[in-house]
């Protein structure tokens, strides 16, 4: 048993180690140890803290997660009120000039002193939620919303889940320091989060700002913990025992030195012209900045001068928000076009009269799907409100019905929107999936919009494995009219290929060899190569094993298909739909005509015996010794299956270096996590 002192050392070491790996994982996105090892460290710390309550600490990494849902938030009275700032309405350079002249007037730097410029700091105005963080002797003790500025809500539990917020300040922090700043979400994080939320059947977050504000006000801290929240410090509240720096700029540097995240986009500016320059520059860069801003903030740099200027009602005289034009603008729908994606999904897209919004000129906006267009009742020639939301693609928020064009009888000129029954690209008929929400072109291999994706899939390493046929070449072949469907590949010739850009005689010959070689394949690869919706590599292997011959698969109805382990109604439906399309069968016939063949009744995939029968594995990250393919083959040889996504059915997640979201998902679901060594042990028969 550890003595107290030994336990203390170990606990301190574990905390440092865990924080280090936390930062590597969450901030640098570059995990340094397998998650299994991380979990072991974390559990050891939890156990030590439970066994030695005297060693518990509010800044321990164990304090970031968990916690019980609250019935309501407790009120927090701010020791120093959280003020708002005045907004400069002139969105042009005038904004900076007005502010500067007000400051100069207050400071009695009359026109006679025109040579003296006031020094400012220009910062970004983050579009999230203002919070106040209280650090006592460097320990994060309480976090609060702004509320009405005087009293906010205690959201400490939620803020502790934000990895950007240190639980303990670095360096020599004062006995009391309240840090003011903004909780926000990056746009890319929101897009990724929303993809996963949709996959889980949850409602996506509308935009980063709502995402941030809604998440920190969740009563259940576990919900907040699952959201990709971040934090920027921009000021201070109550302070005790600290010699404040002389300027706002140095204050921000000091906060950064305490380990608080401070945004790098800021400048010290002399006079209004330099402020206006920053406003212009950030306005141009706005679209490239990974999070939303709604303007910039100008602050008098000297804290002494800030004090001299003081406040007017609830706003400081030394700061102003200089906004950008609204991210929501009005424009007119010139047309509604139907875009066909790589998988054949039909998406209505609004063609707009070009309009400047969120730092960019937009002329397209997604309308998501037919249902959405009908719900909003968007029609051609309508005036609409457009917003550049979390997703970089702008969206149509609403129709301005008063501005809808009508005929003499007062009836709308244009009928409600309807998706066409056939694909605008190839004329194949459109099928509706998932209760009608998704419309898809059934053209499959013959639809030109899908051709590129289908061809790339067909030639892929795990499909027909044609080496040397990349996307650039495919684009050239499609553009030149040489290839439209996979079977066309088998009619290519050396002279034809050699005539293409950047293609020599030798590489043309090599490519033709690779194409020829691909003709001898396996049933499983062939099924996978067809690119049937919902049929991944592992389903293709199951189907090959079950049916043994393509004709049997083609002839199977939904019920027969659902007899295959792992094939549910959605997969069965996709397969039936695919073979029901005449052009797909014709294409298969052409491939046979091109001598594509395989051994019938082969034992393709997983062994039906072995220690891993019935076990489902997910591989993620780079394994140090094994190649991904190798690991997969060995698992399959032992009777196991490998799938691409983690679910409750997953038996093991094998995580290597740089494992990402799958690992997080495994942790969420409590799925067993192995590293390569663990997998090898299992393979050696130490009981799966
Ligand atoms: S300073 C006394 N700096 O804008 C001045 N505020 O009305 C206190 N905001 O919701 C605010 N970025 O959360 C300041 N760099 C920044 C800011 C910023 C965003 C928000 C703030 C508040 C509003 C101010």
Place of tokens 């939301």: 389
- Which residue's alpha carbon is at the smallest distance from atom 7 of ligand 1? 84
Q: Which atom belonging to ligand 1 lies closest to the Cα atom of 181?
A: 13
What pLDDT is stored for residue 435 in this prediction? Answer: 67
- Domain boundary among the residues 352, 370, 403 is at 403
The yes-or-no verdict on residue 161 having pLDDT over 80 is yes
Q: What distance in angstroms lies between residue 254's CA and the mean position of ligand 1's atoms?
A: 18
Q: Which two tokens stand for residue 68?
A: 């019980």
397 domain residue, yes or no:
yes
What pLDDT is stored for residue 576 in this prediction? Answer: 95
Give the span between the Cα atoms of 38 and 125, in whole angstroms: 37
CATH number at residue 378: 2.40.50.140
CA nearest 255: which of 244, 240, 241, 270?
244
Q: What distance in angstroms lies between residue 24's CA and the mean position of ligand 1's atoms?
A: 29
What average pLDDT does the segment 384-406 reach?
A: 80
Whether 363 contacts 370, CB under 8 Å = no
Q: Which atom belonging to ligand 1 lies closest to the Cα atom of 235?
A: 1
Please tell me whether residues 132 and 255 are part of one structural domain: yes
User: What would the pLDDT profile of 416-434 be if each residue is shown by its tens digit?
Assistant: 999 999 999 889 999 987 6
Say whether 553 sits in a helix, a strand or coil: helix
222 domain residue, yes or no:
yes
Q: What distance in angstroms lies between residue 234's CA and the mean position of ligand 1's atoms?
A: 7
- Domain boundary among the residues 270, 301, 323 is at 323
- Helix H, strand E, coil C: the string for 612-678 is CCCCEEEEECECCCCCHHHHHHHHHHCCCEEECCCCCCCCEEEECECCCHHHHHHHHHCCEEECHHH
Q: What distance in angstroms lies between residue 181's CA and the mean position of ligand 1's atoms?
A: 7
The yes-or-no verdict on residue 276 having pLDDT over 60 is yes
pLDDT band at 486 (very low <50, low <70, confident <90, very high): very high
User: What would the pLDDT profile of 229-269 be if each residue is shown by its tens digit?
Assistant: 999 999 999 999 999 999 999 999 999 999 999 999 999 99
Place of tokens 């730092």: 359
The yes-or-no verdict on residue 279 having pLDDT over 70 is yes
Give the span between the Cα atoms of 235 and 180, in whole angstroms: 5
CA nearest 305: which of 246, 252, 242, 255?
246
pLDDT band at 28 (very low <50, low <70, confident <90, very high): low
pLDDT band at 389 (very low <50, low <70, confident <90, very high): low
Alpha carbon of residue 303 to chain centroid: 39
The structural domain count of the chain equals: 5
Q: Best of 81, 84, 238, 296 to mutate for ligand 1, by most ligand atoms within 8 A of CB? A: 84
The yes-or-no verdict on residue 600 having pLDDT over 70 is no
What average pLDDT does the segment 104-119 reach?
A: 81
Q: What distance in angstroms lies between residue 85's CA and the mean position of ligand 1's atoms?
A: 7
- Which residue's alpha carbon is at the smallest distance from atom 16 of ligand 1? 125
315 domain residue, yes or no:
yes
What pLDDT is stored for residue 310 in this prediction? Answer: 93
**Computed over its alpha carbons, how large is the radius of gyration of the chain?**
31
Please tell me whether residues 600 and 656 are part of one structural domain: no
Ligand 1 lined by 86 (C-beta under 6 Å)? no
Whether 521 contacts 464, CB under 8 Å = yes
For the chain, the distance separating the N- and C-terminal CA atoms, rounded to the nearest angstrom, is: 32
Please tell me whether residues 210 and 338 are part of one structural domain: no
Q: What distance in angstroms lies between residue 144's CA and the mean position of ligand 1's atoms?
A: 15
Please tell me whether residues 310 and 380 are part of one structural domain: no
The yes-or-no verdict on residue 605 having pLDDT over 60 is no
The yes-or-no verdict on residue 113 having pLDDT over 70 is no
What b/e readout covers 542-572, taking b as 16+ CB neighbours within 10 angstroms? Answer: bbbbbbbebeebbebeeebbbebeebeeebb
Give the span between the Cα atoms of 231 and 212, in whole angstroms: 10
CATH number at residue 26: 1.10.287.610
DSSP-assigned letters across all residues of 402-436: GG--B-TTS-BSSPPP---SB-TTT-PBEEEETTT
User: What would the pLDDT profile of 453-470 be if each residue is shown by its tens digit?
Assistant: 889 899 998 899 999 998
Q: pTM value?
A: 0.55
Q: Which two tokens stand for residue 415?
A: 């009928």
What pLDDT is stored for residue 673 in this prediction? Answer: 85
416 domain residue, yes or no:
no
What pLDDT is stored for residue 250 in this prediction? Answer: 98
User: What would the pLDDT profile of 642-654 be if each residue is shown by its tens digit?
Assistant: 888 888 888 888 9
Cα angle 363-364-367, degrees, rounded to a multiple of 5: 150
Please tell me whether residues 196 and 153 are part of one structural domain: yes
Q: Which two tokens stand for residue 12?
A: 């301190």
- Which residue's alpha carbon is at the smallest distance from atom 13 of ligand 1? 130
Say how many C-beta atoms besides its own lie within 10 A of residue 294's C-beta: 19
What average pLDDT does the structure give for the chain? 87
Q: What distance in angstroms lies between residue 171's CA and the mean position of ligand 1's atoms?
A: 26
Please tell me whether residues 132 and 205 are part of one structural domain: yes
CATH number at residue 278: 3.30.470.30
Give the span between the Cα atoms of 615 and 642, in whole angstroms: 9
User: What would the pLDDT profile of 606-648 be if each residue is shown by its tens digit?
Assistant: 566 677 877 888 888 888 887 777 788 788 877 788 888 888 8
453 vs 140, residue with greater confidence: 140
Q: What distance in angstroms lies between residue 125's CA and the mean position of ligand 1's atoms?
A: 6
CATH number at residue 575: 1.10.150.20
435 domain residue, yes or no:
no
45 vs 648, residue with greater confidence: 45
422 domain residue, yes or no:
no
Ligand 1 lined by 130 (C-beta under 6 Å)? yes
- Which residue's alpha carbon is at the smallest distance from atom 3 of ligand 1? 234
CA dist 410 to 324, 334, 500, 504, Å? 38, 21, 59, 66
Q: Is 427 left (phi over 0), alpha (psi -120 to 50) or beta?
A: left
Ligand 1 lined by 129 (C-beta under 6 Å)? no
Say how many C-beta atoms besides its own lie within 10 A of residue 410's C-beta: 6
User: What would the pLDDT profile of 497-523 be if each residue is shown by its tens digit?
Assistant: 999 988 889 999 999 999 999 999 999
Please tell me whether residues 597 and 658 are part of one structural domain: no
What pLDDT is stored for residue 30 in this prediction? Answer: 65
The yes-or-no verdict on residue 367 having pLDDT over 50 is yes
Q: Which atom belonging to ligand 1 lies closest to the Cα atom of 316?
A: 2
Please tell me whether residues 577 and 625 are part of one structural domain: no
The yes-or-no verdict on residue 562 having pLDDT over 80 is yes
Ligand 1 lined by 319 (C-beta under 6 Å)? yes
What pLDDT is stored for residue 538 in this prediction? Answer: 82
- Which residue's alpha carbon is at the smallest distance from atom 14 of ligand 1? 234
Please tell me whether residues 540 and 634 are part of one structural domain: no
Ligand 1 lined by 85 (C-beta under 6 Å)? yes
Ligand 1 lined by 292 (C-beta under 6 Å)? no
Please tell me whether residues 184 and 261 are part of one structural domain: yes
279 domain residue, yes or no:
yes
Active-site residue set = 125
Please tell me whether residues 316 and 365 are part of one structural domain: no
- Which residue's alpha carbon is at the smallest distance from atom 18 of ligand 1? 125
What pLDDT is stored for residue 1 in this prediction? Answer: 43
Ligand 1 lined by 235 (C-beta under 6 Å)? yes
The yes-or-no verdict on residue 68 having pLDDT over 90 is no
466 domain residue, yes or no:
no
Ligand 1 lined by 473 (C-beta under 6 Å)? no
pLDDT band at 42 (very low <50, low <70, confident <90, very high): confident
What average pLDDT does the segment 371-391 reach?
A: 83
Cα angle 58-60-66, degrees, rounded to a multiple of 5: 85
**Structural domain harbouring 646:** 609-683
Give the span between the Cα atoms of 366 and 350, in whole angstroms: 6
Q: Best of 182, 314, 317 to mutate for ligand 1, by most ligand atoms within 8 A of CB? A: 182
Q: Best of 80, 124, 126 to mutate for ligand 1, by most ligand atoms within 8 A of CB? A: 126
What pLDDT is stored for residue 680 in this prediction? Answer: 82
φ/ψ (deg, to 5) at 37: -65, -40
Sorted by sequence, the CB contacts under 8 Å of residue 10 that are 6+ apart come out as 2, 44, 48
Give the span between the Cα atoms of 307 and 316, in whole angstroms: 9
Give the span between the Cα atoms of 183 and 202, in whole angstroms: 23
CA nearest 260: which of 292, 234, 225?
234
Q: What percent of the chain has pLDDT over 90?
A: 45
Least confident span in 100-109, 346-355, 448-457: 448-457
User: What would the pLDDT profile of 164-214 be if each residue is shown by its tens digit?
Assistant: 999 999 999 999 999 999 999 998 898 888 888 776 767 778 778 888 988
Q: Which atom belonging to ligand 1 lies closest to the Cα atom of 87?
A: 7
Whether 358 contacts 327, CB under 8 Å = yes
Whether 99 contacts 309, CB under 8 Å = no
- Domain boundary among the residues 270, 290, 323 is at 323
pLDDT band at 604 (very low <50, low <70, confident <90, very high): very low
- What does DSSP assign to residue 340? E
Q: What distance in angstroms lies between residue 311's CA and the mean position of ligand 1's atoms?
A: 15
Cα angle 443-448-452, degrees, rounded to a multiple of 5: 110
Q: Best of 130, 131, 149, 317 to mutate for ligand 1, by most ligand atoms within 8 A of CB? A: 130
What pLDDT is stored for residue 64 in this prediction? Answer: 78
CA dist 117 to 174, 183, 199, 491, Å? 33, 33, 55, 74
What pLDDT is stored for residue 183 in this prediction? Answer: 97
Give the span between the Cα atoms of 551 and 559, in whole angstroms: 16
What b/e readout covers 468-490, taking b as 16+ CB neighbours within 10 angstroms? Answer: ebeeebbebbbeeebbebbbbbb
Please tell me whether residues 585 and 617 are part of one structural domain: no
556 vs 114, residue with greater confidence: 556
- Which residue's alpha carbon is at the smallest distance from atom 24 of ligand 1? 84
């Amino acid at each position: 048993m550890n003595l107290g002192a030994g336990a203390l050392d170990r606990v301190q070491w574990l905390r440092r180690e865990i924080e280090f790996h936390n930062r590597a994982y969450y901030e640098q996105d570059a995990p340094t140890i397998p998650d299994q090892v991380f979990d072991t460290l974390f559990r050891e710390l939890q156990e030590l803290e439970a066994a030695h309550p005297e060693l518990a600490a509010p800044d321990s990494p164990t304090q970031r997660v968990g916690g019980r849902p609250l019935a309501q938030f407790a009120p927090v009275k701010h020791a120093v009120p959280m003020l708002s700032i005045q907004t400069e309405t002139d969105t042009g350079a005038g904004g900076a000039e007005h502010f500067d002249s007000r400051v100069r007037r207050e400071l009695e730097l009359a026109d006679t002193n025109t040579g003296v410029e006031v020094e400012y700091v220009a910062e970004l105005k983050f579009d999230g939620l203002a919070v106040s963080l209280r650090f006592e002797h460097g320990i994060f003790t309480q976090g609060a919303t702004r509320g009405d500025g005087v009293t906010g809500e205690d959201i400490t539990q939620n803020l502790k889940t934000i990895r950007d917020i240190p639980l303990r300040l670095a360096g020599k922090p004062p006995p009391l320091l309240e840090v003011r700043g903004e909780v926000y979400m990056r746009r890319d994080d929101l897009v990724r989060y929303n993809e996963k939320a949709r996959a889980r059947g949850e409602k996506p977050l509308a935009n980063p700002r709502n995402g941030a504000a809604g998440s920190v006000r969740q009563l259940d801290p576990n919900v907040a913990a699952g959201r990709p929240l971040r934090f920027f410090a921009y000021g201070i509240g109550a302070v005790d025992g600290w010699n404040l720096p002389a300027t706002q700029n140095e204050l921000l540097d000091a906060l950064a030195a305490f380990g608080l995240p401070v945004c790098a986009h800021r400048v010290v500016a002399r006079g209004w012209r330099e402020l206006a320059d920053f406003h212009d520059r950030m306005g141009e860069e706005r679209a490239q900045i990974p999070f939303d801003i709604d303007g910039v903030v100008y602050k008098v740099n000297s804290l002494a001068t800030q004090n001299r200027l003081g406040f007017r009602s609830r706003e400081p005289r030394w700061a102003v928000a200089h906004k950008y034009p609204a991210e929501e603008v009005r424009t007119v729908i010139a047309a509604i076009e139907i875009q066909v994606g790589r998988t054949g999904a039909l998406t209505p897209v609004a063609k707009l009269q070009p309009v400047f919004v969120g730092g960019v000129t937009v002329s397209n906006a997604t309308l998501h799907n037919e249902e959405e267009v009908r719900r909003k009742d968007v029609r051609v020639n309508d005036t609409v409100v457009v917003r550049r939301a979390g997703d970089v693609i702008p969206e149509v928020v609403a129709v301005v019905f008063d501005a809808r064009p009508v005929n003499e009888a007062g009836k709308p000129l244009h009928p409600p929107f309807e998706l066409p029954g056939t694909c605008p690209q190839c004329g194949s008929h459109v099928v509706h999936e998932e209760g009608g929400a998704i419309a898809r072109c059934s053209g499959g291999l013959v639809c030109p919009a899908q051709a590129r994706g289908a061809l790339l899939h067909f030639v892929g390493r795990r499909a027909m494995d044609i080496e040397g046929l990349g996307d650039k070449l495919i684009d050239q072949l499609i553009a030149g009219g040489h290839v439209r469907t996979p079977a066309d590949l088998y009619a290519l010739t050396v002279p034809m290929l050699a005539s293409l850009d950047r293609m020599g005689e030798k590489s043309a010959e090599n490519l033709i060899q690779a194409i020829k070689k691909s003709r001898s394949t396996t049933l499983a690869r062939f099924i996978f190569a067809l690119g049937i919706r919902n049929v991944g590599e592992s389903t293709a292997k199951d189907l090959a094993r079950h049916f043994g011959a393509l004709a049997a698969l083609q002839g199977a109805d939904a019920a027969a298909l659902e007899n295959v382990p792992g094939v549910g109604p959605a997969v069965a439906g996709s397969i039936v739909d695919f073979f029901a399309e005449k052009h797909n069968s014709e294409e298969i016939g052409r491939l046979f005509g091109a001598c594509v063949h395989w051994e019938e009744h082969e034992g393709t995939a997983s062994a039906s015996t072995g220690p891993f029968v019935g076990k489902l594995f997910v591989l993620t990250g780079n394994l140090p010794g094994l190649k991904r393919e190798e690991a997969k083959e060995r698992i399959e040889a032992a009777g196991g299956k490998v799938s691409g996504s983690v679910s409750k059915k997953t038996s093991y997640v094998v995580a290597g270096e740089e494992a990402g979201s799958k690992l997080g998902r495994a942790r969420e679901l409590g799925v067993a996590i192995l590293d390569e060594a663990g997998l090898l042990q299992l393979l050696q028969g130490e009981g799966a």
